[in-house]
Amino acid sequence: MSSSLADHCLAGALTGEFVVDAHCHFGPWNAFHVRRGGWARAMVDAMDLCGISLSVIAPHAAIGPDERLGNDQAYAAAAEFPNRLLPYVTINPHRPCAAIEAEIARWDRVGIRGFKIHPALHEYPACGEGYRPMFEFADERGLPILSHSWAGDALAGPPILADLATRYPGAQFLIGHAASSWAMIDASCDEAARHPNIFLDVTTSALLYDALEQVVARAGADRILFGSDNPFLDPRPPLGRVLMARISDDDKRLILGLNARRIFKL
Ligand SMILES: [Zn+2]
């Protein structure tokens, strides 16, 4: 008698491991379908499918036109799923300084675990004056900042983030998409070697063969964070890339969750 695939579980959710997806978004977006109603539930369903314990979220609204709405969405979702979703506070650097300080103070009363900046979508340099109140706050409190970044990115490329890491040594700088191209791997690994407060977020943007192994060899597994860009992208391919990499299980556990536990003080 032949058996069907349904009779065998060839792959299932990772169990018994602490997995943090440090680079997620949330909610509606103009460019693709996101399941309507229950956006938080949809995120958690996708996490359950592959065994992700916790996702750190910066809603699309926040990295787009309305950071206050987006921050509201992030904190509301985290309140609905307190052990599964963790909010980033996203800063819009175009606001007046007083408004940015007020937005930080608004969430400081609840608790801030990290900041997200998207210089490309906000069309503003990471080293610009608008971000200064956030950098000073993160520096003083020892908080992480995840920045979107590309190789040669004139607004937030690795050298710009590295300058900020020198100026604000108390903050941790997470370079987004650090394994998205060979040029990006070179630039971000070089900066990680020079700056102890730089970490590499290997969120999928291209699935380059051998990329993760090379980043581990050059930067060290203790400087790398797993991320997926869920719900921009399906979290399963990037998770598989870590699980199937030719690195040790100890290194996989650092990348998948233990580094995030340290950085986000989980
Ligand atoms: Zn992203």
pTM score, whole prediction: 0.94
> Ligand 1 centre from 156 Cα, in Å?
14
Range of the domain at 45: 16-263
Q: Indicate whether 100 belongs to any domain.
A: yes
Q: Indicate whether 227 belongs to any domain.
A: yes
> Ligand 1 centre from 146 Cα, in Å?
9
Report the side by side order of strands in the sheet with 85-87.
20-24, 54-57, 85-87
pLDDT on residue 78: 97
Q: Indicate whether 2 belongs to any domain.
A: no
> Ligand 1 centre from 116 Cα, in Å?
10
pLDDT on residue 127: 97
Q: What share of the chain is helix, strand, coil (3-state, %, to 5)?
A: 45, 10, 45
> Ligand 1 centre from 99 Cα, in Å?
24
> Ligand 1 centre from 230 Cα, in Å?
8
Ranges of the chain whose pLDDT falls below 70: 1-9, 36-37, 205
pLDDT on residue 257: 98
Q: Indicate whether 24 belongs to any domain.
A: yes
pLDDT on residue 54: 98
pLDDT on residue 37: 67
> Ligand 1 centre from 102 Cα, in Å?
25
Q: Indicate whether 232 belongs to any domain.
A: yes
pLDDT on residue 55: 98
> Ligand 1 centre from 34 Cα, in Å?
15
> Ligand 1 centre from 232 Cα, in Å?
7
DSSP letter at 233 equals: S
Considering its fold, how many domains does the chain have in total? 1
d(CA 1, CA 193): 58
pLDDT on residue 1: 45
> Ligand 1 centre from 253 Cα, in Å?
22
pLDDT on residue 13: 86
Q: Indicate whether 10 belongs to any domain.
A: no
Q: Indicate whether 46 belongs to any domain.
A: yes
Closest by CA to 61, choosing from 36, 35, 26, is 26
For residue 5, what are its two tokens?
């695939």
Q: Indicate whether 8 belongs to any domain.
A: no
Domain at 169, CATH number? 3.20.20.140
